[in-house]
Chains A and B, each alone.
Chain A
Amino acid sequence: MSHSFIASTLRGFTRALSKALVSEQVSARPGLLQQLDPRVRLVGMLALVLAVVLCRRLDIIAALLGLAVMIAIASRVSIASLAKRVWLVIFVFTGLIALPALFITPGSPVLILPALSLAISAQGLRTAILLVLRVETAVTFTTVLVLCTPWVQVLKALRSLHLPAEVVTMLAMTHRYVFLLIETANQMFESRQSRMVGQLTGPEKRKMTARTAGVLLNKSIDMSQEIYLAMLSRGFRGEIRLLDEFGMRARDYAGLAAFLFVGCAAAWMGR
């Protein structure tokens, strides 16, 4: 590919858009998490992530990973795509980071590789497995939460956790305009690519990328001005009011109690 940096940027944009689309589809399915109040989902999954981070025992973290997989299945999240997009990526990335720890962590050797004159220590093995397993489990909980909860509901749940209204509004607006700006940047790169013949030199490529970013910045600032005027025209006076129409039902309370109980029990048992 002659202009691989443009192609890979465009691929990145497509990946982000498809991620958002998958999340929209999964959150519309009638699954376990989807049927619970968004606040319960958020607090429950955060409690479990916290339990994973607090836990120091491998078997308890493995049990939590099992629980995460069960929640994912019950919430109709595709395990195949979870394995491909989450588990494999993390295994490769964190695994690479953890690999040298096998050899350089001081401790009693459990396996000696004579060909490389290296020894794997028991401590090194434990810390590497602990890191990979912990990251896999925490990210599985987060991914399941993100896939099963539309962004609007995440925001409302954050608001009910007493995050300032300004912050929630900014998160909502940013999310909305991320997609518009991705679309704009996508079109800019595509139109540029369709007009290019031959090869660009290194400095030309860098100039083009920076200028595209510059134009995007200009457009963003202009857009913020337009949005502001539109807000003023609708009566914005600097005060933010958000609708909060959640109602907790019996099963929401049961779900919350279950998540918190499991989280606390895991953190206590794995301390």
Chain B
Amino acid sequence: MIEDALVIIPAFNEAAVIGDTLAELKKFASRILVIDDGSQDDTGLRAREAGAETLRHSANLGYGAALKTGFSYGLRYSKVSFFLTFDADGQHDPAFLEPLMNPLRKNESDYLIGSRFLMSDDSSAPAARKIGSKIFSVATSALIGQRITDPTSGMLGLTRKIAKVFTSKLFPLDFPDADVVIMLSRMGYRIQEMPVRMRPARRPGSMHSGVLKPAYYLAKMSVSMVHFALRLDLKQKRREMESAD
């Protein structure tokens, strides 16, 4: 049972599946925080009924903003040493959270990415998603000089220091993915990947479904990645943040 990490779950209109996701997750982690990102259904209520701490955004702000709220809350109200992020739709297998924690506890890494592509038998991701992930994987690996196979993974483990970075203005409020990996690498943090198994989501659709949304995501992410790759002040930003502690 993980007791030294707060598991943050951003959720938007996940009332149908959040109960099952939390019931399974509670066998592996004791501290769970659900951010109901302005859902129009009973996501928050179902999460509370399932025994998770719940925060509710009064408007839908997006995945990154929900994560930011979770990290802000964790830093302010809890003393946990680590944070984990987890999807509400049941894609993530909570059995892989414990292995994700090990490098953090041993202080071997600051930021852990749960990679579905390090598992040889992974076939759950849709083809379009696999292609998109591959493009971002190649671009991210080239930009930071370290092999990253799944920079868009939502299953992450991180330290309080990283959480503090994620509550700053540097953190993207819509889709924090590959750009964040580049940002952290440029700041000098240690990034590592661990194999995890992903399952099909418990409900159809995703925040990147449709035609316009993926196109916008691709364009926005490309700009954001180039932005962080070209910034020369990120190590200085890290020093400023750490000296403010």
A binds B: no
**A residues with CB within 8 A of B:** none
**B residues with CB within 8 A of A:** none
